[in-house]
Structure 1
Amino acid sequence: MQPNNLIAISEFCVHHHLEISFVNALEQQGLVEIITIEQTLYVQPEQLGRLEKLVRLHQDLSIHPDDLDIVSDLLERVENLQAQLTQLQNRLVFYERIAN
């Protein structure tokens, strides 16, 4: 994979006023995947949204990096439940139209 398709962790950390150790801690918890090319750390663009979400949780809500995996899991569950609720509401509307 070419580094020009990746986002350098050092640049990301400078932009977000973070220590590189914070992103390393997220990788150790399995929350993001870091790629090393020629001793430079990168993150894939597909993971940028997730990484930024974790940074916002950490900075805005003062959530400790060790607890971000729990919070992230709970947020994913809420999002899944909201999607299921929307799907069930759409089904209900469909069947109510048939009944009328």
Structure 2
Amino acid sequence: MQPNHLIPISEFCVHHHVEIAFVNSLEQQGLVETICIEQAVYVQPEQLPRLEKLVRLHQELSIHPEDLDVVSDLLERLEGLQHQVTHLQNRLFFYERYTN
């Protein structure tokens, strides 16, 4: 993959007002993946929404980087449950429509 398709961590940190050490700690916890090419660290565009979400949780809710893995896991579970509820509501609507 060409580096021009990747986002430099240094630019991301400047834009989002976070330290590079913060992103490094997220990478060490396995919350985001980074790529090192020629002593420069990059993040893939697919990782950007997750990384931005973690930054917002840290900045807006003052969640410590060490606790972001727990919060992220809980949010993913919540989103999965919301998806299940929507799916079940749609099925219920389908069956109610044909039984009435």
Which bin holds the TM-score, normalised by the shorter protein?
Answer: over 0.9
Partner SS state of residue 35, structure 2: strand
- Corresponding residue of 1:67: 67
For 2:18, the aligned partner's letter is: L
Give the alignment's TM-score, normalised by structure 2: 0.99
State the distance in 2 between where 1:9 and 1:50 align.
14
Unpaired runs of at least 5, structure 2: none
State the distance in 2 between where 1:17 and 1:97 align.
52
Deviations along 1:41-63, one digit per CA (max 9) or x if unpaired, are 00000010000000000000000
Give the alignment's TM-score, normalised by structure 1: 0.99
Answer yes or no: is 1:78 the counterpart of 2:88.
Answer: no
Aligned residues: 100
- Corresponding residue of 1:48: 48
- Corresponding residue of 2:6: 6
Deviations along 1:45-95, one digit per CA (max 9) or x if unpaired, are 001000000000000000000000000000000000000000000000000
- Corresponding residue of 1:57: 57
Answer yes or no: is 1:39 the counterpart of 2:39.
Answer: yes
- Shift, 1:98, TM fit: 1.1
- Corresponding residue of 2:97: 97
> RMSD of the alignment, in Å?
0.4
Partner SS state of residue 53, structure 1: helix
